[in-house]
Homo-oligomer: A and B are copies of this chain.
């Protein structure tokens, strides 16, 4: 990786983790400290402290590829640019948008130093709070049908439910997509037992964190919002009661022979 010499711009796509600054990696902190320009969706840019020499470009534009292009243009002009994402930038966040923009844009952009600093993605943060619900094979899916047909989402969900994966649902709901989570849980209830553990983990590690361990039956009528991560247990996922405290939730590593 080339250093910050004149005319050598760069893009670093940085995972800020679930919210608590203690969940950033040291490498992500260093990358933030070296940036000249900071690009991201408003709440993520707001997590990064202001400092002299850092130009902040907070955006409420939901079109990620626009932000990605802006970052690449700045880097091509010689700036050291940090693009910030919540969680891990490679998991339903900004990294794919940056490479989409590279592929579709100025051929010179592919020769820029573009690096990705991984972060703690929401499903890992939620799982850690509860025990080890991802202890077996698992999948991560986005429930948003903004970028893929709903039929693809339901076919994928049915496949992994039938194959007995733990399923983490990102982007489960928004004001523009109010019914998709209910439909997904209805499908789960056709395939998994009604007492399967389902986790609604909201704003993990942030001041407004709220974690619920539900049964699949109860989850079908529970409320969620954009900040909620939903994890549907596999057939073996189980609870360990702890009196009044939230139970531990874990999925054993073993699958017995049929």
Give the secondary structure class of A's interface. Answer: mixed
Q: Scoring A residues 109 to 142 as 1 if CB is less than 8 Å from chain B, else 0, what string do you get?
A: 0110011111111001101110111111111111
Known A134-B90, A137-B142, A255-B148; contact A22-B27, beta-carbon cutoff 8 A: yes
| Identical copies of this chain, number | 2
Inter-chain CA distance A242–B109, complex, in Å, is: 10
Binding site for B on A (CB under 8 A): 17, 20-27, 29-30, 64, 88-92, 95-100, 102-103, 110-111, 114-121, 124-125, 127-129, 131-142, 147-149, 151-152, 155-156, 159-160, 162-165, 238, 240-243, 248, 250-255, 257-258
Are B250 and A95 in contact (CB-based, < 8 A)?
A: yes
Known A240-B99, A255-B148; contact A248-B165, beta-carbon cutoff 8 A: no
Are B30 and A26 in contact (CB-based, < 8 A)?
A: no
A-B contact pairs, 30 of them (CB 8 A): A20-B27, A22-B30, A24-B25, A25-B120, A64-B253, A88-B128, A89-B132, A90-B128, A90-B135, A96-B135, A97-B253, A99-B131, A100-B250, A100-B252, A110-B242, A110-B248, A115-B128, A116-B131, A137-B156, A139-B139, A148-B255, A149-B255, A149-B257, A152-B255, A152-B258, A155-B163, A156-B165, A159-B159, A159-B160, A159-B163
